[in-house]
Amino acid sequence: MLSLLTLIFMVIFCLESLAAMLQNGFMVVVLGKEWVRRPTLPTGDIIVSCLAASRFCLHGIGILNNFLFSFDICYQANYFGLLWNFINTLTFWLTAWLAIFYCVKISCFSHPVFFWLKWRISRWVPRLLLGSLIISALSVISLAIDHVIISPTTIILPGNCTSLHSALTFYRYHFFFHVAVLWFIPFLLFVVSNVLLMFSLYRHVGQMKDGSPGPRDPSTQAHTMVLKSLTFFLIFYTAYFLSLITVTVRSILAQSHWYWLREVITYAGISLHSTMLVLSSPKLRKGLKRRL
């Protein structure tokens, strides 16, 4: 029997995920229509539309996967877990490319590397998106091989605790290495890009304050708001990454309220980032006002 606290966190998680699916679906529809009307879409909007589509699927699979585990339907959950891993890895890399794209385009560093990247980043985006798909597919193949290795051990040797423990230990360390390579690298790229962008904006805000009548200048306020938003999202996205690392190190029963509290915190970061993307894009804001 589920406790009241567990049910509360389950409801919050479902509402949070459904709201995130709604806003990501909205972004896909608006940018998709724009893509159909125009032969080419701005590079940043292409990354945002792909990221929104992947997050829509991530939240949907997350709801289904969590409820399958809650009702002990582990066999089917394994297959959805592989699909979730593919979409989650893809989302990590797309988020990293979006952060790098904005960092290169918006930051005002005078280093020759940034000037070189500004001219070439737009042409690289299709290759980066294709590379993200390939990396995500390889991650699924790697985990599928692990499941094939472990499944016979758990079925054929149910009484051999030593073999089962060795297989599970191998799986856990291999999966942790998998996470370190395929999730930590894009997370590190995301953090570095955001820190560089925040430093550039902070320096720019200081220059505008020195040359403007006061801190209430609209341009200064806009840059300050962007800085606060980036800081806020960086904190929540870090919590998202650390929560996923916690999953690989320590398992928690799906019927526990701690499990669902962790899920609420985990998905809060990417939900808030989707909200930030909608509010920061004039095109998406215009479409939102039209529908409201």
238 or 159, greater pLDDT: 238
**pLDDT, tens digit (0-9, with 9 covering 90-100), for 250-287:** 555 555 667 788 788 878 878 888 888 888 788 888 88
For residues 19 and 69, is the Cβ–Cβ distance under 8 A? no
**Helices (H) then strands (E): counts for the chain:** 9, 0
180-207 average pLDDT score: 83
| Token pair 């290495």: residue | 177
Instruction: Assess whether pLDDT exceeds 80 at residue 34.
Output: yes
The predicted structure's pLDDT at residue 118: 85
The predicted structure's pLDDT at residue 219: 58
Instruction: Assess whether pLDDT exceeds 70 at residue 209.
Output: no
> What percent of the chain has pLDDT above 70?
72
The predicted structure's pLDDT at residue 195: 87
Which domain CATH number covers 170?
Answer: 1.20.1070.10
The total number of structural domains that make up the chain: 1
What does pLDDT average to over the chain? 78
The predicted structure's pLDDT at residue 154: 47
119-123 average pLDDT score: 87
Q: Which domain holds residue 192?
A: 4-291
Using pLDDT thresholds of 50, 70 and 90, give the confidence band for residue 157: very low
- C-beta atoms surrounding 155 within 10 Å: 8
For residues 161 and 67, is the Cβ–Cβ distance under 8 A? no
Instruction: Assess whether pLDDT exceeds 90 at residue 54.
Output: yes
116-127 average pLDDT score: 88
Instruction: Assess whether pLDDT exceeds 80 at residue 227.
Output: no
219-244 average pLDDT score: 73
d(CA 130, CA 149) in angstroms, rounded, equals: 29
- Alpha helices (H) in 107-160, listed in sequence order: 112-156
For residues 153 and 163, is the Cβ–Cβ distance under 8 A? yes
Using pLDDT thresholds of 50, 70 and 90, give the confidence band for residue 57: very high
Using pLDDT thresholds of 50, 70 and 90, give the confidence band for residue 147: low
For residues 70 and 56, is the Cβ–Cβ distance under 8 A? no
Using pLDDT thresholds of 50, 70 and 90, give the confidence band for residue 55: very high
* Lowest mean pLDDT across 99-108, 112-121, 155-164, 227-236: 155-164
**pLDDT, tens digit (0-9, with 9 covering 90-100), for 36-46:** 887 778 888 89
